[in-house]
Amino acid sequence: AQTVTQSQPEMSVQEAETVTLSCTYDTSESDYYLFWYKQPPSRQMILVIRQEAYKQQNATENRFSVNFQKAAKSFSLKISDSQLGDAAMYFCAYRSLFDNFNKFYFGSGTKLNVKP
Amino acid sequence: NAGVTQTPKFRVLKTGQSMTLLCAQDMNHEYMYWYRQDPGMGLRLIHYSVGEGTTAKGEVPDGYNVSRLKKQNFLLGLESAAPSQTSVYFCATGSGGYPQETQYFGPGTRLLVL
């Protein structure tokens, strides 16, 4: 099974500033998808952004962008202009394209605090 | 549409008791998954199903059983609850139609085993 590592259990950022959350993964596969999910205190899992491995261009969704380094197996999430509503747990997830059952492998999560 | 719902939202069990968690979806998805979420461990896959009448083991299946008698429902059973099964349980679904598809999550069930 693939492993996904989030080495920052908790981070803090000042409102309106930029923060980067790290994620690395281990795989021998050449093509796959990577996802970032947000889990606010409500516990609802919300998709933030996704990236397919064969696409070199980094994905962007409004204030959220990724830095995808395939050779380094790194997939970091950058949040610009942080808002109080960004405070949540963030999970990185891996999905193989060779898995017919669409299983996801999640990292351990990073808790993001946003200071006013 | 309700999407993915889970019943109950919270439950307290005593060691050795049994219970069933229900996941229901109205998205007509073929694939359904049960995860558990523990502090510092992220979400780990317990069991999954790729269609009515089929189930398979995930990463941490021990102590759990599942059934998918109807396409819209996926049940997770604990036959003899243990304190190690204290966790938050999430159900998720997917159509399996295309690789970039996200999984759609329910709101979670918090289980405390004393």
pLDDT tens digits, one per residue of B60-109? 999 999 999 999 999 999 999 999 999 999 999 998 777 778 899 999 99
Cα–Cα distance, B63 to B59 (Å, whole number) = 12
| Secondary structure class of A63 (helix, strand, coil) | coil
Q: Across the interface, which of A33, A35, A43 has its CB nearest the CB of B88?
A: A43
Q: Which residues of A touch B92 (CB under 8 A)?
A: 45
pLDDT of residue B53: 93
Q: Which residues of A touch B102 (CB under 8 A)?
A: 35, 47, 50
Q: Which residues of A touch B50 (CB under 8 A)?
A: 100-101
Nearest to A84 by CA among A111, A112, A49, A116: A116
pLDDT of residue A100: 76
Cα–Cα distance, B14 to A7 (Å, whole number) = 35
Quick: pLDDT tens for B4-56: 999 999 999 999 999 999 999 999 999 999 999 998 889 999 999 999 999 99
Along chain A (116 residues), what's the average pLDDT of each consecutive run of 10 residues?
Answer: 91 98 94 94 93 90 96 97 97 88 92 97
pLDDT of residue B99: 74
Query: Is-contact A63 A49, C-beta < 8 A?
Result: no
Helix or strand holding residue A2 (H, E): none
Do residue A106 and residue B107 have CB atoms under 8 angstroms apart? no
Q: Across the interface, which of B40, B58, B94 has its CB nearest the CB of A108?
A: B40
pLDDT of residue A102: 83
CB pairs under 8 A between A and B: 56
pLDDT of residue B40: 84
Please compute Rg for chain B using Cα positions. Answer: 13
